[in-house]
Structure 1
Amino acid sequence: MSPARRVLIVFNPTSGSRRRGRLHRVIRALEEAGAAVDLRVTEKPGDAEALAREGAGEGCYDVIAAAGGDGTIDEVANGLGADAPPLGVVPLGTANVFAAEIGLARGAGAIARTLLDGERRAIHCGRANGRRFLIMAGAGLDAEVVAALDPNLKRCLGKFSYIIETARQMFRYDYPVLDVTLDGRVTRAVTAVACKGRRYGGPYLFAPGADLARPEFEVVLFDKGGALPVALYGTALVLGLLPRVPGVRHIAARSITVEGPSGAPVQGDGDLIARLPLAIAIDPVPLTVLYPPPVP
C-alpha cells in the first residue's frame, strides 16, 4: 500500500451538519494510518471551490477531498485544475449520488481506505455554461424543484424535502416546451437532463447508458408535462422502470444546447448552477478521482 501522506479535506458544515461524527471517524482513521490531515471549513457558497484551488496551488497535498453533499463535491471539482491532486470524497450530503456512482461505501473505514489507497481514475465531467458538473445538469421540472427548494426544509428533511417540493411543483409548474439541440439534431421536450452518471436522487437508475469514463452524455428527455405524467415518471424511477416508460427518451450526445424561457433555472447535481439559455459540453480536461481500491 502507498498511502497518501497529506490529505486536505474541504468540509461544508451545512450539508454535513448531521453527519459530523462520520467525518471525525474518517479523520481519526486517516491519522491512525499515518496521514497528515488538514481540515478547512467553508462559510458560504463558493468557499469550497476557492479552498480547493488554494490547496491545489500549494502543491503539498496528495489528495483534496470534499466532505459534504454532491454540491460540495462539484464546488471542489471546479477548484481543481489539470495538475491538481486527485479528488477524494467524504459523503455527508442528502443523496450522495456521486459516492454511489463510484461505488464508495459510507463507512468511515472504507472512506479512509479510499483516500489513502484508492484507485486513480480519470473521468470526463460536463460543463454547463462553463461550470463543471459531475453527474447531471438539466432544465425543466427538476431544475424548478431545485430552485424553489427551501434550504431549511432540505436540512431538516433531507431527501424528503425534494419529494415535497416536487409534489408542489408538479401542479404549479407550467411545463414550457424546451428547444433541445443534440449534436446538431433539434428536438423538443419539457424537461431535458444531460447525464454523466447513471443514478438520480441516490440509488435510482435514471440513465443506464451513462458512463463517467466516456466523453459523452446520455440525455434524458421527458416529452409530457403535467401532474399525471410526472407521477408516472416518479413511480417508474423508484421501480427501476424509467427507461421503459413511453414519452421518456434516452439519446447519446456530446454537445447540447437548451433554449426556453430566458432565465429559467438550470440544476447541476442538485444545486442551481446556471440559467437558460444553456450550453453543455464535455470538459476538455479530465478529472482524476479516487475510486475504492480493488478487492483482493
Structure 2
Amino acid sequence: MRKLIESPLPRAVPHLCGALALPSRHRTAPLPWGQASVFNSGIESPAVAFVVNSTRVRDLSGFRRRCQRAAAARGWEPFFLETTLADRGLGLTRDAVRARARLVFSAGGDGTVRACAQALAGTGVPLAILPMGTANLAARALGVPSRLGAALATGFGGEERRIDLAVADGMPFAAMAGIGLDAAVVDATPPACKAGLGWLAYAGTGAARLRGRPSWFTVRLDGGEPLTMRARSVVAGNAGLVPGGFTLLPEARLDDGVLDVAILAPADLLGWIRVAYRVTTGSRYDDRHLTRHRARLIEITADTELPREVDGEVITPGSSLTISLNQSSLTVRVPSSSPVRRAPDPVRGERSRHDQDNSKDQAAHQVGG
C-alpha cells in the first residue's frame, strides 16, 4: 500500500501545521497532522478538513472531540483549520485541497460557507456544512440539520448533489446578495446582538430603518430592457430564505440554473406590513411593494452609493452590483430528504407559471396583503 509520505501531501504540511495551531487555551491534544503516525504508519485513511470559525463555537475542545470521534468511526483522518480575520476560510480550504483532503466541513455561518464554497468550486471535493451562524441560509436551503451530531452524519454519510454558485462583482456566494436596505441592516447589527438574539437581531435593526428614503434603481435581467423604479433594496438569491427561515424568493433553488431577484419598494409602514405578510406566508403574489423576477445575469445600478452585502458579509459600498451564475459548480453533502431539487427552466415557461401563481394568489391577498 502506498504511504502518504510518498505523495505530495507532506510538502504542504509545514504551512498547514502553522495554520492548524490553535490558541494554547484551546489545545487538548496534538492535531492529527502533527502526529507522525499519520505519515509513517502506512495506513491511508482519507483526509477530511474542518474549517472552523471558532468565534461561533462555545466549547472548541468538545467540538473537536466530537468531530474526531465521528470521523474515526467512519474511517476518516481529520484535521482542523481555524479561520482568522485575515483568512476567513478561502486560503485554508485551498490549502486543504492541495493537501488532498477528500471532504471539507465548513463549521460557522454563511460567510464561512461562502469562503469554503469559493475554494471548492470546480474541484469535485464535496462541501459539508456544520451550521453555527446567525442565519445559516445555505444550510437551511440544503436541508442540513442544525444539531451537530445530525449534521456530522449528513456530512459523512449523506448524498452528494451538485449546486450552482452565484458571483457578485467577482465574489462567489451560495445564498444571497443585495444592495440597499438589506446590506444596511447587516452592517448595522452588532455582533453581540447576533450572538445573543440570533436572527431577531436583524429584525430589530431592520425595523428601525423602515422609514428611510428610497433610491432610484435600474435593473437589467439577462441583457433585456431595463426596469427602473424607486426602491429600498434589490436582492438576488441562489437560495430563497432570509434570516428566521422565512421565504422571500419561493421559486429559488440552489440547483435550478437560474437566480431569483426581489425588488423591495414599500413606501410606508403599511407597505412593509404587506411585504412581511407575503414573506412569512411564502406568498408568490407580487405588486408595487414587492416584485420578483428570474434571470441568469442581473445588472443593478443605483443613483447613489449604497451598502452592499454578499452572504451576510458587508462589502465596499457602491452604486452597482452585477450578479451572474456558475451552474453546477459545487458538490455538497445533503440529507437524502434534502429539499434541493431541479426546478423548471424559465426559458421553458417558468415565467408564465409564476405569473399564473400570482393571479391565483391575488384574490386571496387583497385583504391581507
Same fold (TM over 0.5): yes
**CA apart distance, 1:274:** 4.8
Matched, 1:155 2:214: no
1:122-159 per-residue CA deviation (whole Å, 9 max, x = no partner) reads 11111000100111111121111112222232223221
1:67-114 per-residue CA deviation (whole Å, 9 max, x = no partner) reads 001111011112224225111101111121211111111233322222
**CA apart distance, 1:9:** 0.6
Tell me which residue corresponds to 1:213: 255
SS of equivalent residue, structure 1 residue 51:
helix
Matched, 1:230 2:272: yes
Matched, 1:94 2:134: yes
Distance in structure 2 (CA, Å) of the matches to 1:163 and 1:34 = 43
Flag the 1:100–1:46 CA change in 2: closer, same or farther, 3 A: same
74, 93, 97: which one aligns with 1:52: 93
| Range with bigger deviation, 186-195 or 15-24 | 15-24
Distance in structure 2 (CA, Å) of the matches to 1:37 and 1:289 = 18
- Asked if 2 retains the 8 angstrom alpha-carbon contact of 1:23 and 1:90, the reply is no
| Higher RCO (C-alpha under 8 Å, 6+ residues apart) | 1
232, 238, 249: which one aligns with 2:291: 249
- Residues 16-31 of structure 1 aligned to structure 2 (within 5 Å): 16-17=57-58, 24-31=65-72
**CA apart distance, 1:282:** 0.6
SS of equivalent residue, structure 2 residue 139:
helix
**CA apart distance, 1:244:** 2.2
- Asked if 1 retains the 8 angstrom alpha-carbon contact of 2:47 and 2:77, the reply is yes
**CA apart distance, 1:22:** 5.8
Flag the 1:92–1:219 CA change in 2: closer, same or farther, 3 A: same
Flag the 1:179–1:294 CA change in 2: closer, same or farther, 3 A: closer
Q: What's the TM-score once normalised by structure 2's chain length?
A: 0.72
Distance in structure 2 (CA, Å) of the matches to 1:29 and 1:271 = 31
Flag the 1:22–1:228 CA change in 2: closer, same or farther, 3 A: farther
Instruction: For structure 1, list consecutive stretches of 5 or more residues without a partner in the other structure.
Output: none
- Residues 177-188 of structure 1 aligned to structure 2 (within 5 Å): 177-183=216-222, 184-188=224-228
SS of equivalent residue, structure 1 residue 56:
helix
**CA apart distance, 1:66:** 0.7
SS of equivalent residue, structure 1 residue 169:
coil
Q: Which residue identity lines up with residue 86 of structure 1 in the other structure? A: P
SS of equivalent residue, structure 1 residue 170:
coil
Distance in structure 2 (CA, Å) of the matches to 1:20 and 1:254 = 43
Aligned residue pairs: how many?
Answer: 289
Distance in structure 2 (CA, Å) of the matches to 1:245 and 1:24 = 49
Distance in structure 2 (CA, Å) of the matches to 1:202 and 1:287 = 25
SS of equivalent residue, structure 2 residue 144:
coil
> Sequence identity, in percent?
28
Tell me which residue corresponds to 2:333: 290
- Residues 54-203 of structure 1 aligned to structure 2 (within 5 Å): 54-58=95-99, 60-171=100-211, 173-183=212-222, 184-189=224-229, 190=231, 191-203=233-245
Flag the 1:284–1:246 CA change in 2: closer, same or farther, 3 A: closer
1:35-60 per-residue CA deviation (whole Å, 9 max, x = no partner) reads 211111112153311111111122x2
Flag the 1:20–1:148 CA change in 2: closer, same or farther, 3 A: farther
Distance in structure 1 (CA, Å) of the matches to 2:59 and 2:302 = 38
Q: Name the structure where helix makes up a greater proportion of residues.
A: 2
| Larger Rg, first or second structure (1 or 2) | 2
Q: Which residue identity lines up with residue 243 of structure 2 in the other structure? A: G
**CA apart distance, 1:14:** 2.1
| Range with bigger deviation, 136-145 or 265-274 | 265-274
Structural RMSD (CA): 2.4
Instruction: For structure 2, list consecutive stretches of 5 or more residues without a partner in the other structure.
Output: 1-44, 339-369
SS of equivalent residue, structure 1 residue 34:
coil
Flag the 1:268–1:23 CA change in 2: closer, same or farther, 3 A: farther
Q: Which residue identity lines up with residue 235 of structure 2 in the other structure? A: V
Q: What's the TM-score once normalised by structure 1's chain length?
A: 0.88
Matched, 1:14 2:14: no
Distance in structure 1 (CA, Å) of the matches to 2:303 and 2:68 = 46
Distance in structure 1 (CA, Å) of the matches to 2:95 and 2:304 = 35
Q: Which residue identity lines up with residue 143 of structure 1 in the other structure? A: A
